[in-house]
Structure 1
Amino acid sequence: MGKKLKDIETPQIDDTASRKEKKKNKKKKQQQQEEAEIEEQQASGKQAKRKLDQAQLGGEATENGSRKKDKKKNKKQQEENGGKEEANGGGVEAVNGKENGGVREESGSKEGGEVDKVLVTGKDADDSKYRPLKSFAEAKLPEKVLECCQGFKTPSPIQSHSWPFLLDGRDFIGIAKTGSGKTLAYGIPAIMHVMSKRKGKMERGQIPLCLVLAPTRELADQIFVVLRDAGEPNGIRSVCVYGGTPKGPQIASLKSGVDIVIGTPGRLKDLIEMEVCRLKDVSYVVLDEADRMLDMGFRQEVQHILSKTASPRQMLMFSATWPLDVHNLAKDHMDPNPVKVVVGSEDTAANHDVLQIVEVWIPTVQHVIEDRLRDDRLLALLEKYHKSQKNRVIVFALYQKEAERLEGMLRRSGWKVVGIHGAKSQEQRTKSLSLFKTGGCPLMVATDVAARGLDVPDVEVVINYSFPLTTEDYVHRIGRTGRAGKKGVAHTFFTHHNKGLAGELVNVLREAKQIVPESLLKFGTHVKKKESKLYGAHFREISADAPKAKKITFNSDDED
């Protein structure tokens, strides 16, 4: 009672044919609905993709807009973003250029066809006046200043991106791999800085205007050679100071007048305290290999030296990696929002022009036997890579005693070899390096003292007899080959003693698209996280116009 008509059950007719027909119709109807839903989803997907494409291109065209209209709007947007820059034989190509809020993301191409991603951040990084250079002519510098660049067709990515900022006096952070042309990236602007200040006047006893700090004697000497050769035609005088040699000649060079001082922190601090090196007029400061400098414990010396330079000054930091310590150092001594150019990645990444071969050694009961086996394998590799005894090969050892033993073993085995390590005097190290560079003795055994700063373009092979203490040092070691666009080989022995670095090494190999040995994966691929996926990195770069933090205090009256 009270039921509606549609709620009253009707008797079912037992008609088999009718039931089958109804079932068939129902199934057909469901199939049609499903097809309709799929078509609707596809249409929605196409519409969403079309809108996404329009948003990426900066267009506001509707679905009914013509291709011509879309093309016109895209072209207009590209013009606003600076357009597309095409590289001619190794310059810069802004293929996927993104410019907003002081960020510019581009691609720097090389002659070999590979492309390095370039990320530019900082205040006014997207300003059109800081456009990267496609040629040396675009820099509009005197011919004499660019004489040192005659052997290159176009600026390297770090040079093409840094010069517009540095020539404008901006504080600068450069992250790029070894062998990327960093020395001239800051060296050319340093020469221009001196020329603008001196105005052609060179006086005896003048104090320097530029300072370059380097972590090792080898790197300091390498920088000195580049800046000396580039500066002398322009009347710019450079002096190099480092420990391990008598101070007398260095003091005499400083007293005779200098424009650019290159030195290691320890010796430079000593000369400052002796009042023979005055930095009060230094207004252009470069920290090269800043990460290595802090790793070696030079923080206090660096702080002391920087306190003796002029204020204000132009501050530059170049490094292959960007750890937290270096970030904090930059924060203490640079503008709040300096320009930062990253060529490739801030993470540890190897040169892609180097073929990396890793041999994993299974542990043995007696280490002496293991060393003998490795010695035999090293001799076999030298027969393979250094048979002509003309091409340059570096064998890296971890400690100086190991380097001494290897040097002696190779000599007894009939190989002509030189060595560079801490047990040798500076005079011996300089002589060894000279013989290696000139080809008089193209086989060298070295510790990590030569991993940074050794710039010999024709090193074909690096052999890591023992793995270094960090993956960063591994990257720097193998970076001694494959320089200036050439190819190289790095052959590495990896033992169970190094298993804690297996995960990082796997990542380096994979990033460079190298073969990862199965035996290496057995050590595990765990890597200590430097960044949380949920919370991000341990620090964040804050823009100059960010609101200041406010201190809030509470007392008992505020509590309920």
Structure 2
Amino acid sequence: MKCCSGFEKPSPIQAHSWPFLLDGRDLIGIAATGSGKTLAFGVPALVHILNHKKKEKKHSKGSRCLVLSPTRELAQQIAAVLEEAGASCGVKVVCLYGGSSKGPQYSSLRSGCDIVVATPGRLQDFVDEGVCKLDQITYLVLDEADRMLDLGFEPAVRAIVSHIPQERQTIMLSATWPTSVQKLAQEFIQDASPVKITVGSEDLSANHDVTQIVEVLDDKSRDRRLQELLRLYHKTKRNRVLVFVLYKKEAVRVENFLQKQGWKVTGIHGDKSQQARNQALSAFKDGSHPLLIATDVAARGLDIPDVEFVINYSFPLTTEDYVHRIGRTGRAGKKGTAHTFFTTADKARAGELVNILREARQIVPEELLKFGAHVKKKESKLYGAHFRELAADAPKAQKITFDVSDEE
């Protein structure tokens, strides 16, 4: 296959997944970002579709494969990989996502496709409107399952899966394996004993191919320090450098600031239209603007080739997002460097960051240890810190109904 022609060998998640998926097994895959998960489920998906086409006397226009993704950019990336992989065997792919007109996506659905790659919100709209039928889906993929739950997509995912036949092959992929994802897997996977493949650790850990440098500094020193690092890391002005910020307004300010300093820079954030976001990513990939300022919209799943350096201008709200940010470099076996600014405003996440650095055998700066190594207990979004997280296989609560009330 053309998509694998440049491989010396499959990545670990691909090598271990392919035999089971080609055998029709349900599968749970836990692997770090940049490990080749798209083709891990993508190659067996193509085989699955072609096998069904051989069995059918008349080729149906119904889609056989559905891939759910948490973000527009990731959905587009998955669709591009599957499109390229399936081109030689006539497999058609449609990508559905919000933030753009429904018209072209509706037309693509009407013309027929084999694989639907979609964000949950837009797909639910099309299903509710009767535009997209899921009654022939036999291969379901939930990619970045942990992120879909974080973004509040659980109701939409449940509604979508309710339209899919129970006789299907289900694949769930995640970078972490929290209890919430375990529960979702138990509900959606039909196989009583699905194959579970873990590459690395189920706990939160960073890519070991990335050198992590953490610098504790004053908030007002960040602009000056950013320029110094760019002169060091981006002195050729041709290599790709990705700078992460926290907020949309911050992204605009940093982008404008660097433009005035003469850097070829572009930006991607939630306030930009989908067209503008696509243009920014294209300019970054083709090297016309090799410096990209991004919010966490670009942190998860995006496969941007040959990013040499990631600079965290602002520390993210969670250490999970930190791991995914720095995972934009050091991909596909290459080495990378992530340089992170850490201020007193971020001290609540110091303990978690120390643990990630130690697990990856990175240098822990003394200034970071001064904030303490305490890890704050994870809070429930509904109940705060006063909750007990139950195991995925915990028995359900028993409902008791009283026949007579005290008032009678």
Tell whether the 8 Å contact from 1:280 to 1:310 is kept in structure 2 after alignment: yes
Pairing 1:337–2:193 present? yes
* Structure 2 partner of 1:250: 105
Please state how far the C-alpha of 1:202 moved relative to its aligned partner: 10
Distance (Å, rounded) in 1 between the aligned partners of 2:169 and 2:56: 22
Distance (Å, rounded) in 1 between the aligned partners of 2:287 and 2:56: 40
* Structure 2 partner of 1:78: none
* Structure 2 partner of 1:320: 175
Tell whether the 8 Å contact from 1:210 to 1:260 is kept in structure 2 after alignment: yes
Distance (Å, rounded) in 2 between the aligned partners of 1:512 and 1:485: 16
CA distance 1:204–1:417, shift in 2 (3 Å)? farther
Distance (Å, rounded) in 1 between the aligned partners of 2:57 and 2:113: 9
Please state how far the C-alpha of 1:337 moved relative to its aligned partner: 2.5
Tell whether the 8 Å contact from 2:234 to 2:241 is kept in structure 1 after alignment: yes
Return the match for 2:357 from 496, 506, 509: 509
Distance (Å, rounded) in 2 between the aligned partners of 1:202 and 1:357: 59
Please state how far the C-alpha of 1:361 moved relative to its aligned partner: 2.0
Q: TM-score, normalised by structure 1?
A: 0.67
Return the match for 1:262 from 91, 113, 117: 117
Matches within 5 A, 1:488-499: 488-499=336-347
* Structure 1 partner of 2:384: none
* Structure 1 partner of 2:391: 539
Q: Secondary structure at the match of 2:292?
A: strand
Distance (Å, rounded) in 2 between the aligned partners of 1:439 and 1:312: 46
Task: Provide the aligned length of Structure 1 versus Structure 2.
Answer: 389
Q: Deviation digits for residues 284-316 of structure 1, max 9, x if unmatched?
A: 100100101110011101001111111211111
Distance (Å, rounded) in 1 between the aligned partners of 2:331 and 2:27: 24
* Structure 1 partner of 2:7: 152
Tell whether the 8 Å contact from 2:14 to 2:39 is kept in structure 1 after alignment: yes
* Structure 1 partner of 2:366: 518
Distance (Å, rounded) in 2 between the aligned partners of 1:277 and 1:435: 33
Distance (Å, rounded) in 2 between the aligned partners of 1:529 and 1:469: 15
Tell whether the 8 Å contact from 1:394 to 1:461 is kept in structure 2 after alignment: yes
Please state how far the C-alpha of 1:274 moved relative to its aligned partner: 1.5
Matches within 5 A, 1:391-430: 391-430=239-278
Please state how far the C-alpha of 1:414 moved relative to its aligned partner: 1.1
CA distance 1:273–1:538, shift in 2 (3 Å)? closer
* Structure 1 partner of 2:135: 280
* Structure 2 partner of 1:462: 310
Please state how far the C-alpha of 1:338 moved relative to its aligned partner: 1.6
Tell whether the 8 Å contact from 1:204 to 1:257 is kept in structure 2 after alignment: no
Matches within 5 A, 1:475-486: 475-486=323-334
Unaligned 5+ segments in structure 2 are 379-388, 401-408
* Structure 1 partner of 2:386: none
Distance (Å, rounded) in 1 between the aligned partners of 2:152 and 2:277: 23
* Structure 2 partner of 1:309: 164
Q: Deviation digits for residues 536-560 of structure 1, max 9, x if unmatched?
A: x942669xxxxx99x9x9xxxxxxx
Matches within 5 A, 1:152-191: 152-191=7-46
Matches within 5 A, 1:117-132: none
Tell whether the 8 Å contact from 2:53 to 2:59 is kept in structure 1 after alignment: no
Distance (Å, rounded) in 1 between the aligned partners of 2:194 and 2:299: 29
Two-structure CA RMSD over aligned residues (Å): 2.1
Tell whether the 8 Å contact from 1:291 to 1:322 is kept in structure 2 after alignment: yes
Tell whether the 8 Å contact from 1:203 to 1:257 is kept in structure 2 after alignment: no
Please state how far the C-alpha of 1:457 moved relative to its aligned partner: 2.0
Q: Secondary structure at the match of 2:331?
A: coil
Distance (Å, rounded) in 2 between the aligned partners of 1:296 and 1:202: 42
Q: Deviation digits for residues 512-547 of structure 1, max 9, x if unmatched?
A: 1100001111111112467xxxxxx942669xxxxx
CA distance 1:205–1:399, shift in 2 (3 Å)? farther
Give the aligned residue type for 2:319: T
Q: Deviation digits for residues 386-416 of structure 1, max 9, x if unmatched?
A: 1111000010000101111111111111111
Q: Secondary structure at the match of 1:388?
A: coil
Following TM superposition, the consecutive aligned residue runs of length 4 or more in structure 1 with deviations greater than 4 angstroms are 200-205
Distance (Å, rounded) in 2 between the aligned partners of 1:518 and 1:541: 42
Distance (Å, rounded) in 2 between the aligned partners of 1:391 and 1:326: 37
